[in-house]
Every structure is written in structure tokens, then in C-alpha cells.
Amino acid sequence: MNTKDEQLRAAAAAEIKKHEEKVQSDPYRLSFHHMPPVGLLNDPNGLVHWNGEYHVFYQWMPFKPGHGEKFWGHYISKDLVNWRHERIALTPSEWYDKDGCYSGSAIVHNEQLYLFYTGNVFNEKGEQEEYQCLATSSDGLYFEKEGPIIHVPEGYTSNFRDPKVWKGEGRWYLAVGAQNNDEQGKVLLYRSTDLLDWELLGPIAGSNENRLGDFGFMWECPDFFRLEEQDILIVSPQGLQQDGMKYNNTYQSGYFAGQLREEEASFEHGTFCELDRGFEFYAPQTFLDNKDRRILYGWMGVPDQNEPSHPTVVNQWIHALTIPRVLEWTEGQLIQQPVSELEEMREAVLLHSEITISNDQKAVRGVGGKPVELRIEIEEVEDQLALEIFHYASFSYKRRDGILTLSRPQLEDKSKTEFRQTVLKEELKELRIFIDHSSLEIFVNGGKEVFTSRIFPQPEDEDILFTSLGNSTFSIEKWKLSGYRTQL
Ligand code: FRU
């Protein structure tokens, strides 16, 4: 612990206090999502289940609702619903991380928690330097920094960050996001036997690797895991051009499935699939819990995408994480489903069966409000079915071409509408929708497609309306949700 660390902790605590009332009274404050106590939150970090507890760390700038010298904030839970906001895990207090303790991952080894993160530095000349660093802890609350363990290799620029560590056959592996001197985004693979000395095996995926062609100038936040005999690389590439319905956000997040041969530093993989079709989703990270579930959290935000236009900025905070989702590999694709623990938040339930709407717009009695979970089982959509949420967002399905569309007013100019779309490759059967005070997560057909977005409706608007062209018949279950119980 050094003096700078103590000063930064005290300053962050003072900042929370100073803006507490403003943040607490914001109608857009979320009830079942991790948000920052004040300031900006971005990537989920260091996700791990250890000694019966879930640890969710996150990128945190406490001093303004904008990016800068990041801290690692820390939430802990035994059940994914009751949370404690813990002591700050890492502050940007050392020469090698003074301009940010950037993203990274956690592993458990010898009854200790190891955090691997990126130390970000702007040197006297204003040039960026990035180091992969280690911090350890025996109680999961107090962390000892061990300093840089990996420096930028020859041929690569200082865009070198977000280490993800896992255990292979008797060795440790680390994947890190990188950019080579030709400004091509890559993932580099390292190997170690002691978690301190790391040997570079080579680039295993990236722009112009594995017959991929040009695919971005920087790859951030790699995450590797095996699921049902598939090796999956989740990554957030930057610099993809919009391509019809694909790649409409400023930066993307998705996955490649294939076969990783660590020792040959090779990863044969298929095409890139976006993980989410909504407006705000980036930098997801996964971990394995004690029930052997592969759980994913994402950031409900995208860097440089209208961030100053979020209406929460005036109340001194911005962004949140998604709800946790279990990943499964089914019929050649990743599917995402909310963890079952979230059912603990369900309060009063309402059930309507066999609702038919014909060429009309209708409110269904009692379906609305926030925070809520909706489950809609579709029996028939003859032509089109749309949900309008709080006179703000609209989600529609056009049966003929299978197109799903989410639209909302643009954040920077509310008089204009923006939309995101994808084609559903089968009939629409089910929607599971989680609505918080300013977020929307729509799971289509058991999580084959997901739309994640922030929404900023009039706070008092609680109407959910259904519109059908032709006949639509469906049933709805609605639960009012209690939200997370969080101790700050
Ligand atoms: C992704 C990212 C990471 C970086 C972190 C900094 O959103 O840019 O690459 O480590 O955020 O906060």
C-alpha cells in the first residue's frame, strides 16, 4: 500500500458521498444491474467464483462520468442476487498503472486470488505504454500488486491489453488483445508454468490471420474457453465496417468457434458471430462457476458511441453491466440464457393465456411497469407482431422474412429513430424480456438471439402495447421484479 493508493481511495469515497443523493434519486437508476456508485463503469473484469462467492470486478472511473484513469471496482455475492459493493480492488497508484488499471481476468491458485490486468501509462512524452500486471490476494478483498509480468513484444504497438488467463494441461495460458505495427488487431497467446514468467507462443487469431482478411485495427478483451468440444474465442474487434444488419455499433463483440492447439499456437476457426444485436453491448467476459456453468457478463455500453448523450451523465454516473447469462453450445451456435438465480427476484405474477390481436394495437391488462420480466409464448404470428415499450422502444417481428427489429429515438437527437436488426432463422416461438428502469434485454427463442440496450423513456411511462398485422396469438407471463439487494 502506498500513499497515492490511500489518497485515491479517500478521493473516490468522497466522490461517492458528494454525489450520492443525485445518483440515488435518478429515475434511470437501475435496480438489477451493476452500476457504478458514481462516475463511469465499463468492462466486467476478474469474474470468478471462489470460496462460495461470486466476484464481479469492473472498470471504474469514480471522478467523472467519462473515461480516464480506471480503478477496479468490486461487487461480491453468494447467489448473484444479493450483492455487496466492496472495497476498491485496484487503484492507479504505481508508475506502471498510473493512468489506469485496465481490464483483465482472475484465477484461483494455491488458495490465492490472482488478478491479471493491464497497467496503462502515458509517459512524459505523452506516449501510451501498456504492461500486463499481476496482483494477488489471500482474502479476496486486499490485493498486493506484483508489478508488470509481460511487456509489449517486438513488432507490436502499445495497444496491448486485457489479459485472460486459464489453465491448460499442466500449464497456464494467457491471451491478450494486441495491435501489430501494421495496425492489425490480434490475439497473442502466452504460456507459463509459474504465472510469473510468460513465453510468447504467437498470434493465434486476428485481422489477416487464419484466412480472415482485414478484420479491424485492434482486438480488445479476448476470452477463451471450451464448451461441448468447441473452443470459443470471444473478442471485441475495433474497426469493422458496417455490413448490412451486421456491425452497426461503433465497435463489435462476438465469437469464433474452432479448435485451439495451444502448443502449436494455432486456432482453426469459423466465421465471426456477433453475440448481441442491440445498441449497447461490449467487452463481455466469462467464467466457470462451481456448478460448471459458463457465465457471461457484458458491459451495457460501447466505447465512443454517444456516451456524453446518455441522460444519466447530468446525475454524475453512466453505464451498467448486463445481467449474468449462462452460455451453451447448441446446434452450432452459442446461446445465452439468464441465470436461473434471477428468478429469486420475481414477485407478483400475472398470467394471460391465448391473447389474440387482429390488425390492432392493444395494451394487455397489467402487463407493464418496471422493473419487470416478461415471458411471451408465441402461438401464431400471421404477418407482424410488435411490442412498444413505454412509448420509447419498439421490438418487432416480421414473419415473412424473419426480421427482428429494435428501434428507439437516437440518444443525441431524439427526433430521429435508430434501429438494429437481425434475421431469425426459424419461426419466433418465445421472448424473454428483462426491463429495468433504463435497460432492455430481449432473449429470443431460448437465447438464440439477444438484443441488449439502454432505454431512456419518460420515467412515469409504464405502458407496453402490442400491435399485430394479421392475427397474432400468444400468452404472457409477467413478473414484477424486486431487483438486486445491494449493500453499498
Ligand atoms: C474495453 C477497454 C479495454 C481496456 C478498458 C479500459 O472497453 O477499452 O480494452 O482495458 O476498456 O477501461
Ligand 1 atom, smallest distance to 299 CA: 7
**DSSP sequence for 303-347:** TTSSGGG-GGGGGTEE--BPPPEEEEEETTEEEEEE-GGGGGGEE
Mean pLDDT of 334-348: 97
Ligand 1: residue of 59, 130, 281 to mutate (most ligand atoms within 8 A of CB) is: 59
Q: Which domain holds residue 143?
A: 3-338
pLDDT band of 483, cuts 50, 70, 90: very high
Q: pTM for the full model?
A: 0.98
Q: Does residue 317 share a domain with residue 355?
A: no
Q: Does residue 447 share a domain with residue 373?
A: yes
Ligand 1: residue of 72, 128, 159, 161 to mutate (most ligand atoms within 8 A of CB) is: 161
CATH number at residue 175: 2.115.10.20
* Domain end call among 338, 363, 379: 338
Q: Does residue 382 share a domain with residue 285?
A: no
CATH number at residue 356: 2.60.120.560
Q: Does residue 443 share a domain with residue 299?
A: no
Q: What's the gap in Å between 471 CA and the centre of ligand 1? A: 46
Ligand 1 atom, smallest distance to 303 CA: 7
Within 8 A by CB and 6+ apart from 67, the residues are 40, 42, 61, 303
- Please give the mean pLDDT across all residues of the chain: 97
Judge if the beta carbon of residue 105 lies within 6 A of ligand 1. no
Residues 265-313 have pLDDT tens digits of 999 999 999 999 999 999 999 999 999 999 999 999 999 999 999 999 9
Q: Does residue 353 share a domain with residue 294?
A: no
Q: Does residue 375 share a domain with residue 329?
A: no
Q: Does residue 291 share a domain with residue 239?
A: yes
Ligand 1: residue of 70, 71, 186, 221 to mutate (most ligand atoms within 8 A of CB) is: 221
pLDDT of residue 2: 81
* Domain end call among 292, 317, 338: 338
Ligand 1 atom, smallest distance to 236 CA: 1
Counting beta carbons within 10 angstroms of the beta carbon of residue 234, is it exposed (0 to 12), middle (13 to 18) or buried (19 or more)? buried
Distance of CA 295 to the CA centre of its chain: 11
Grid cell of 469 as nine digits: 398485422
Q: What's the gap in Å between 191 CA and the centre of ligand 1? A: 23
pLDDT band of 487, cuts 50, 70, 90: confident
Ligand 1 atom, smallest distance to 220 CA: 9
Q: Does residue 200 share a domain with residue 264?
A: yes
pLDDT of residue 105: 98
Q: What's the gap in Å between 117 CA and the centre of ligand 1? A: 11
Judge if the beta carbon of residue 70 lies within 6 A of ligand 1. yes
Judge if the beta carbon of residue 42 lies within 6 A of ligand 1. yes
Q: Does residue 229 share a domain with residue 255?
A: yes
Classify 279 as helix, strand or coil.
Answer: coil
Q: Does residue 317 share a domain with residue 417?
A: no
Yes or no: say if 185 and 237 are a contact pair by the CB < 8 Å rule: yes
Q: Which residue has the cell 502466452?
A: 190
Q: What's the gap in Å between 286 CA and the centre of ligand 1? A: 16
Residues 433-463 have pLDDT tens digits of 999 999 999 999 999 999 999 999 999 999 9
Residues 345-404 have pLDDT tens digits of 999 899 999 999 999 999 999 999 999 999 999 999 999 999 999 999 999 999 999 999
Residues 153-187 have pLDDT tens digits of 999 999 999 999 999 988 999 999 999 999 999 99
Ligand 1 atom, smallest distance to 61 CA: 12
Q: How many domains does the chain have?
A: 2
Judge if the beta carbon of residue 103 lies within 6 A of ligand 1. yes
Q: Does residue 308 share a domain with residue 170?
A: yes
- Determine which one of 5, 26, 43, 413 is catalytic: 43
Distance of CA 317 to the CA centre of its chain: 17
| Residue 315 in this model has a pLDDT that exceeds 70 | yes
Residues 79-134 have pLDDT tens digits of 999 999 999 999 999 999 999 999 999 999 999 999 999 999 999 999 999 999 99
Judge if the beta carbon of residue 468 lies within 6 A of ligand 1. no
Ligand 1 atom, smallest distance to 67 CA: 12
| Residue 314 in this model has a pLDDT that exceeds 80 | yes
Q: Whose CA is nearest to atom 6 of ligand 1?
A: 102
pLDDT band of 263, cuts 50, 70, 90: confident
Judge if the beta carbon of residue 255 lies within 6 A of ligand 1. no
Q: Whose CA is nearest to atom 9 of ligand 1?
A: 220
- Examine the residue annotation and report whether 43 is marked as an active-site residue of this protein: yes
Q: How many angstroms separate the CA atoms of 248 and 267, rounded?
A: 27
Q: Does residue 465 share a domain with residue 383?
A: yes
pLDDT of residue 1: 58
Phi then psi dihedrals of residue 351, to 5 deg: -130, 125
* Domain end call among 318, 338, 358: 338
Burial code (b: 16+ CB inside 10 Å, e: under 16) for 211-227 equals ebeebbbbbbbbbbbeb
| Residue 207 in this model has a pLDDT that exceeds 90 | yes
